[in-house]
Structure 1
Amino acid sequence: MTNPAPGNGKKTILSRGSYPEYVRLSDLMRKETVGGIMLLIAAVAALIWANSPAADSYFAIRDFKIGYEPWHLDLSIGKWASDGLLAIFFFLTGLELKREFVAGDLRSPSRAIVPIAAAFGGVAVPALIYVVINLTAGPEALRGWAIPTATDIAFAVAVLAVISSHLPSALRIFILTLAVVDDLIAIAIIAFFYTAEVHVPFLLLMFVPLALFAFLTQKYAKFFAKNHIAAWVILLPLGIITWALMHSSGVHATVAGVLLGFMVPVLRSKKDGGADGGPGLAEQLEHRFRPLSTGFAVPVFAFFSAGVALGGWDGFGASLTDTVALGIILGLFLGKPIGIMLTTWTLTKLSKANLDPTLKWIDVFGISILAGVGFTVSLLVNDLSFVLGSEHHDHAKVAVLTGSLVSALVATVILRARNRHYRKIEEIETADTDQDGIPDVFEGEGRS
């Protein structure tokens, strides 16, 4: 997101992207907003049930096991939600990330460097804060170092929707792209640091259906895009087999979702009609799986992961004295904005660039605090870090919820103040539109 500034030739960061990218990401943000609201409802429902007189029934359902043991698939319902349903979410993450780097504005290294670097900064600093706080707490506590490193796309976007944000599109695209890259970093962390034992035969076998899935989607993309039944009958079983073999290998099964997403072509060839050939396979698969992910998979995961017996206000207060909880809260609320702001500011100095003249650093700061809204992946990493039902595990859940809530509230205060400033500006810009339907502000400089 680095471009020459109009008029003086000096480079800028976080400048406005292309209009097609603005339209596509705006549509994606509307979909994620619905997901964030459902996520919130599921989390609140789980907390109420887990702290009600009927709490035993909640934990009994969550821990009830079903499955097939020989393939290591004898899992509790809670594990099916985290290992199985969440793979759908990461499949869409893989699709979105590939589209960003192949067909989106981030195919330009100058635009990609800022959100990518900010994502790494937003992962490194929270992890460092957590480790420093838990250095004397023992090796078990240190296992949770990656919990505060994630940003939840759906929740963050839902907060923006509640604000009724008129923030510049560059900021909204920045937080969305940062969160997607953040998820990729998180899945890499899970694969490399939270895999206790790898069963090599299963891992090697996994590449067979994955390669066949890649071949079919690349070779017959147009066929599967137009024949929905064929996609369900042929591609879906290959995806399920890939997932099952990945799970049996010992590597977290959600990694399979990202790999499958990477295999789907996001550019249409000339023989398929090119850009004017209608929705391609990537768009079709996203259209089919996005409602399943936002409306079912992620909320169900949240429901079975967010439930924790707080033990009243005394229990809540006691949980916050645990260094694990303290490290997570400070990592999310302080580590995220520090890492993102420091990285972004450093890039401006190293590249001798300026922040885009339409923005202020307080805008970036507000978005950076919003990135501290961690939930889905943070809860997943918590499940991998600590024994289910252990003290650290329960305290970490409380910390994820607390840190996310505090980040959301503070970001709301800052961004609502900035929202009033940008409302009139946006009305003027979008009103100035040519007959082509594209706002003039997006035209020129090769942006449209």
Structure 2
Amino acid sequence: MTQQQYPTSHIRLLHRLLLTSGFCATLTAVISIVCIPNALTQQRGLPKLMTLASGLLATEASRRLSKQWTELADVTTDLDILDRRENITWYQQVISSVKQVTVKYSQRWLDANIISDPVTYWLNTGKNGLPLKHLLIVGGTGDGKSTLIQSFASRLSGWQFQVFDVDGTVDDWLFVKPEQRVYDLTDIEAAMVDDLALLEERILSRREAGKRWTDTPRLTIAEELPALVSSSDTAANWVVNHAKRGRKPLLFIAAIAQNDTVKNLGLEGDADLRDSCFTRIYLGSKARERARKLGNDVLLRWLEEFPHGRFIVDDKPCQWVVNNNQSTSTTSQTATLTSSQLPNTSPEFTNNLPTISDGIVSKTVEASLEMGGSGFTAEVVAMKNAVEAARLRGCSDTNIITEVLGFSGRRYAEGKRLLAMLETTSNPML
């Protein structure tokens, strides 16, 4: 393709003519101002007549030059606009002629970049088994954000934990010490102030001790961080300071949100901080949205095959069955599950699940009361089998409570308590 010729412009010449005519009009005006008063003071004679005539001619010339200068200025303005349009058109033609370079993803890329253990991946961002990034978990309602972070926590042996959750209850976050669960907004703000003081204290301690410095790593989970940022002036400062300075003092945060915009995360105007300081995890519908935004059709199809157990970590595919009761050993096993064991919502999977009849669902509360005895009723055994089968498929707590156990709406909390009892009580009959 031949190079488009740059459009010829005469605007510079017009500007020069405009300046010249303006200078001439000004000069003739000065001549008329000098000549006419001088002629009036002279005695009668030829010199007076010539001076007066020169002044009058200069006045008329100045008037005509001023009029032409005004007309020329208007024409120059119009031509300047046309010239700019021609330049824009030329640049657009040149840019459109450049071939767009797009990244093409393939199945080979997918197989080469798949992450089977996101916890290990996150820990390996740093050295000595300690991460160098914070966590950002993005997902819609029911996508398993809380379940995922609890699975992470089950792998972090020797860590301290803290939770900020304005919508939390005493039944939530049971793996965290009660005194480290903060639910009230005022208490959360006070805890954030204490965190900032602890951050400065650890930074100073690390500076004085040098390479010998060590301390217990701590992970603070901020449930629905955008709600905290919008409700508290301290939250944004807390996020920014921990994102920039909290990693080396081993004070990490796990931000849980339904979107990843920097404004909602308290990082407005600093998108680089979000991209460079956080390991970003996208779940469920948010993972599919991210794949579409990346233009990665291969990743999108891969995510749609199994809605549960597949998500995105740092724009890479991750295949991991999430279980909020995972231990180190069980997690290592789930990392090597075959494709037939991965989460599935197909009719074949639904039909193969141990079914719970309406009669059993209506008796779940009564049946659960028998767990404290020496054995279990057949109904409870059926429910435990159904829950275990769903866990193997990577279903989240929400899916199990609503789809397997049949609790929804106002009875959701009841189903949540029942699920906890089913998974924490051993069955001597099995």
Q: TM-score range by the shorter chain?
A: under 0.3
Which structure ranks higher in relative contact order (CA pairs < 8 Å, sequence separation ≥ 6)? 1
Q: What's the TM-score once normalised by structure 2's chain length?
A: 0.23
Q: Which has the higher strand share?
A: 2
Q: Which has the higher helix share?
A: 1
Larger Rg, first or second structure (1 or 2): 2
